[in-house]
Structure 1
Amino acid sequence: MKKAINNTRNLNLDFVRGVACLLVLLYHYTFRFFEVINQDNPWPVQVSFGYMGVSVFFMLSGYFSIKYTKESTGLRLFCFKKFLRLFPAYWVALILTGIITYFFLPERAVSWIDFAINFTMLESFFGVAPVDGVYWTLQYELLFYLFTALAVIVFKKKKIIPQISLVWLFILIIRDFINIDVVGKFVDKFMIAKYGPIFILGYLVYFLLETKMKRWKRILIYFEILLSFYYLWRHLGLEYFIFIILAFAFLIVTVCLSSKGQTGNKIVNKIIHPFTFIAGISYPLYLVHQNIGCAIIKTIGYDQAFGEFVLIIPIVVSILLAYSINRWIEKPINSYFNKKRQIKEGHLNNGTK
């Protein structure tokens, strides 16, 4: 029964991730592309709000990172697993995107030195432009995983995350009112200013719904939710703020239904299946879709008789590339190292008998 519930949870949350990924993709193809080339969009379809889907990724990262990070996990193993999760697919996508950008979008191409620095995933810390604009989120993911590792693995207490998050929120809010240049730059760079509370909201969903806690801690979590909303309202504007509230509420409902093992009927499950497929390749799809897809749109032309139906081609190409990276890069690498670790752990267990 427990396994079935876990499968349900993954299915429902994968649907959320898949929808968010498609929102971001359609935003870049139907809106951002025309902003970059400084042309009017001739299509009636404009998903101008799709960029907000990134906040769903951040929220899910907060939820999953605290849910699946164990206090017994060593820091070295944690970092290695995150490295495998993020970097191999990123490097392949970076090379593909760099080549396509160089030949088909030369106005967006970066220098060879900047291209090399992009392999660190920390190009913004060096004042270097990303090869693809969507890479701006990756440094935040890295910093957030580091924060989680320090809080859970180093201190060995997952339950203190709400208290640490409260300190994080207070620092971000105080930063708004105290303008000290050096401190401000540090907070902006290393404490995920502007988007940090979205990750925290993901944390809070886990503690609110999946842990037992005393009354004072529950009140603390409600207070942090309000603080997070206050900060996001100040920094992201009303429309984005409303989207985040809706995404947060939807995530709570989804987790509640999943924890009870509730799914839709067969027809509903068939409808959401394509979104769960997209969720499975969402990371490489996010990495490859923008510049490569925009290069295809620019090459084919966007004012032809087919209109917005021309989007089918970059969408299909991006999905095929993402599936290939997932199938031939991500899965084999993770499978190899998981088997290697299991063999090593098996030898250690045999040695202790």
Structure 2
Amino acid sequence: MPVAVAERPPQQRGGPGGDAPARASRRRPRLYLLDGIRLLAALMVVLHHFAGTHRADRPGNVIWDRPVSELMPSVFRVASFGWIGVEIFFVISGFVICMSCWGRTPKDFFVSRVIRLYPAYWFAVLFTTAVLVLLPGVQERLRLREVLFNLTMLQAGSDVPHVDPVYWTLWSELRFYLLFLVVVAMGLTYRRVVVFCCVWGAAAMLAPVSDFPLLTLVADPSAAWYFIAGLALYLMHRFGQDLLLWGILAMSWLMGQLELGERVEYEQVSSWRGAVVIFTAFMLLMVAVALGYTDRIRWRWLVTAGCLTYPLYLTHYLAGIVVIHHLRGTMDPRLLVAGLVAGFLVLSWLVHRFVERPVARALKKGLESSFVRLRGFQRAA
């Protein structure tokens, strides 16, 4: 999930309903707060996996030597709601993807997604596999051919296990990108994005009762409404609020709270009311971002915080619980969790600095050359 610079909404030539792709008249300040929210969401997920899951709270679990609710009850009560960070990711992704590809071509969109997603992901697959090889006995590692297939990021669509279970969210992201690519190819306008939200929402609503697996696969009803909320919020940010956008946002909240209830039943450690309160508070914060109330927040360190989010999410889970298993009993569990989180933050910065940035530059250069060559063949034909 990238972070891009927002643009000033156009105010001329027919307003938001025009069919031509709208272009900004001047630049708006970077939305620094989004970077901070992304890192906060990632830390929520990390804390949940280390100290707030049902698996970690079962007697005799392989992570801790005792139920985590006994080892650190206060941390457990907070961490048990950390899974909501994933839903927060999806909302921010809808907002940022719409923002970053406005006025760009499908080629630009494709290149930006490849160079953003794959470098850190390739490192995470190899890093996690190496940890499972070097520290066995906690989680069985996949066979080599399955690890290699994971490098495609398409394993969920081929029924191949994930190297790390947290990769399941990437499958939802990829489906969102493919769907939104259709709108990007047509040219982004207010009207087309609104229609996309309505059509996708209708498909997500019908999919669970349709008994049509392909519709369920494409519509992704468990995540669709969070992405739709992000798209509506960005339209508010770019074009201003109106009743239609508030209606889409309200529908997204209503459908989202139902999905939250299902997640609560799956997680078995938190309450529906608490989850809805946290998610609602986040949505209100995103409304404040969309309407410009947080534009004065321009702390430079938030940019670095945002860069840590993706590597942190990809690397922390299996490697982290393996380390916890081997070090439990050697120190206070709260100190162990804090040290582990700090260690993964440092690792995330190193991945961003020495993996993501150089590999992304090389990938972008290669892809741009490939598309130039492709256009050359097209002209020759």
Change (3 A) 1:37 1:31: farther
TM-score (norm. length: structure 1): 0.82
Q: CA deviation at 1:336?
A: 4.5
Contact kept? 1:21, 1:278, Cα under 8 Å:
no
Per-residue deviation, residues 10-30 of structure 1 (Å, max 9, x unmatched): x21111112111111111111
Q: CA deviation at 1:202?
A: 0.5
1:333 maps onto 2:351 in alignment: no
1:6 maps onto 2:33 in alignment: no
Change (3 A) 1:162 1:175: same
The structure with the greater share of residues assigned to helix is 1
Contact kept? 1:59, 1:198, Cα under 8 Å:
yes
CA distance in structure 2 between the partners assigned to 1:219 and 1:314 by the alignment: 46
Change (3 A) 1:56 1:102: same
| Structure 2 partner of 1:313 | 339
CA distance in structure 2 between the partners assigned to 1:234 and 1:13 by the alignment: 25
Q: CA deviation at 1:53?
A: 0.7
1:37 maps onto 2:62 in alignment: yes
| Structure 1 partner of 2:39 | 18
CA distance in structure 1 between the partners assigned to 2:84 and 2:204 by the alignment: 21
- How many residues are treated as equivalent by the alignment? 324
1:102 maps onto 2:129 in alignment: no
CA distance in structure 1 between the partners assigned to 2:342 and 2:257 by the alignment: 36
Aligned partner letter, 2:189 = K
CA distance in structure 1 between the partners assigned to 2:304 and 2:325 by the alignment: 27
Q: Which runs of 4+ in 1 moved over 6 A?
A: none
Q: SS in structure 2 opposite 1:37?
A: coil
Candidates 221, 229, 232, aligned match of 1:193: 221
1:141 maps onto 2:168 in alignment: no
Candidates 280, 284, 287, aligned match of 1:245: 280
TM-score (norm. length: structure 2): 0.77
> Aligned-pair RMSD on alpha carbons?
2.8
Which ranges of structure 1 fall in alignment gaps of 5 or more residues? 346-353
| Structure 2 partner of 1:351 | none
| Structure 2 partner of 1:163 | 195
| Structure 1 partner of 2:379 | none
What does residue range 1-353 of structure 1 map to in structure 2 within 5 Å?
5-7=28-30, 9=31, 11-32=32-53, 34-35=56-57, 37=62, 39-41=66-68, 42-44=71-73, 45-46=75-76, 47-73=79-105, 75-106=106-137, 107-152=139-184, 154-159=185-190, 160-176=192-208, 178-180=209-211, 183=212, 185-211=213-239, 218-237=242-261, 238-239=272-273, 240-257=275-292, 261-263=295-297, 273=301, 276-301=303-328, 303-336=329-362
CA distance in structure 2 between the partners assigned to 1:306 and 1:72 by the alignment: 51
CA distance in structure 2 between the partners assigned to 1:331 and 1:174 by the alignment: 41
Aligned partner letter, 2:125 = L
CA distance in structure 1 between the partners assigned to 2:165 and 2:42 by the alignment: 15
CA distance in structure 2 between the partners assigned to 1:175 and 1:102 by the alignment: 40
Contact kept? 2:125, 2:163, Cα under 8 Å:
yes
Q: SS in structure 2 opposite 1:50?
A: coil
Q: CA deviation at 1:111?
A: 2.2
Aligned partner letter, 1:188 = T
Q: CA deviation at 1:277?
A: 3.2
CA distance in structure 1 between the partners assigned to 2:357 and 2:327 by the alignment: 33
Change (3 A) 1:91 1:205: same
Q: CA deviation at 1:338?
A: 5.8
CA distance in structure 2 between the partners assigned to 1:195 and 1:4 by the alignment: 31
